[in-house]
Amino acid sequence: MSIELAYALRNGKVENIYRGDIVVVNVKDEVLFELGSRFKKTYWRSSAKPFQVLPFIEAGGLERYKIKGEELALMCSSHGGETGHLDAVRVLLDKIGFEESDLHCGSAPPMYWPAAKEVLRNQKDYTQYHNCCSGKHSGMLAIAAIKGYKTAYYEAIEHPLQQEVLDIASELAGIKKEDIGVGVDGCGAPIFYMPILNMAKAYAILSKPEILENKKRCQAMQQVVGAMTANPWYVAGTRRLDTILMEVTKGRLLAKLGADGVYCVSIVGKGIGLALKIECGEIKVIEPVIIELLRRLEYIDHQEEQEMINRLDLSIYNHRKEMIGELKAGF
């Protein structure tokens, strides 16, 4: 059963309670920490992105298309739709021979609100470039290109590239393919339904892929880790937890947000992964919970904890920009 993980306080009084589940596991399948239930099932959402790009890397796509680290990070991202993100998506698509019209992610407002306001201020429409999943979809088109797959309905679960991704998810998460539920994400691509325990297992392997016998997959995962931790702004963006966490720890931790309250972290080089689900799906609540969890398990020190808190700002403001409350971990 989910437990109380965080509170919204107004004038020091609890106003809202946020429940959820956490599990931390290592590559030996040992559960190191648990709150709530490790068997909590939910959709992996965008936290699966570091694994969805693996078929492209394993097929030699980085070398063939001269993909830079920031472009690989973008393929794993839920970017904020800032100018640098949009420019990078355009360059990436051009490298693999596609255009915006080839994307099937749909138009969406940027996740970074100042970027969304800028579009509105200029009286322009949101595009598929602005969609936080445009990097992932560019990567899926790249898989199709390098493997000679048709790009029509590339986002459908029946498409061969999606079946490859499903196989990888099954292997790395340690769950039978037939036991993975498949839904449709906001961007139209498949999403995988499984216990958070299995998500944490995959992130444990991502943190130490050299345990794999498949050396090509090991190398591909190492390249994902290197790209994401060296280019954290392209994974998320300004004032985003993923970016701040990886910048503050200097790549010692790798993190990836999933929509509706999912979050996964790798303790790089340690063979440890963690997964979190906020039951109500509130993304902002992840921030105090993750910071408290990492501090309690000694994956970050006090100085790093304070820097993350300062850069994220967990305060609650009214319409007059007055601080009237805060989000706080409750475990």
DSSP state, residue 86: H
**CATH number of the domain that residue 42 is part of:** 3.40.710
Residue pair 237/246 in contact (Cβ under 8 Å)? The answer is: no
Band of residue 161 on the pLDDT scale cut at 50, 70, 90: very high
Half-sphere exposure of 315 (CA within 13 A, CB side): 9
Place of tokens 């021979």: 97
Strand order, beta sheet including 41-43: 41-43, 190-195, 181-184
Segments forming the whole domain that contains residue 14: 3-329
C-alpha 318/C-alpha 67 separation (Å) is: 44
Band of residue 1 on the pLDDT scale cut at 50, 70, 90: confident
Helices (H) and strands (E) in the chain, counts: 14, 11
Both structure tokens of 317: 């403001």
Q: What angle do CA 62, 68, 71 make, to 5 degrees?
A: 95
Question: Mean pLDDT in the chain?
Answer: 97
Mean pLDDT, residues 189-207: 98
Question: pLDDT tens, 18-49?
Answer: 999 999 999 999 999 999 999 999 999 999 99
- Report how far apart the first and last C-alpha atoms of the chain are (Å, whole number): 15
Query: Which of 10, 20, 9, 17 shows the shortest CA–CA distance to 275?
Result: 20
Quote the number of domains for the chain: 1
Q: Phi-psi region for residue 225, left (φ > 0), alpha (ψ -120 to 50) or beta?
A: alpha
Residue pair 102/109 in contact (Cβ under 8 Å)? The answer is: no
Query: Which of 149, 27, 126, 132 shows the shortest CA–CA distance to 76?
Result: 132
Q: How far is CA 116 from CA 104, 105, 110, 111, 169, in A?
A: 20, 17, 5, 7, 33
C-alpha 191/C-alpha 42 separation (Å) is: 10
Question: pLDDT tens, 90-140?
Answer: 999 999 999 999 999 999 999 999 999 999 999 999 999 999 999 999 999
Question: pLDDT tens, 266-304?
Answer: 999 999 999 999 999 999 999 999 999 999 999 999 999
Query: Which of 302, 301, 291 shows the shortest CA–CA distance to 329?
Result: 291
Q: Is the pLDDT of residue 77 over 90?
A: yes
Place of tokens 């967990």: 314
Q: Is the pLDDT of residue 208 over 90?
A: yes
C-alpha 218/C-alpha 207 separation (Å) is: 11
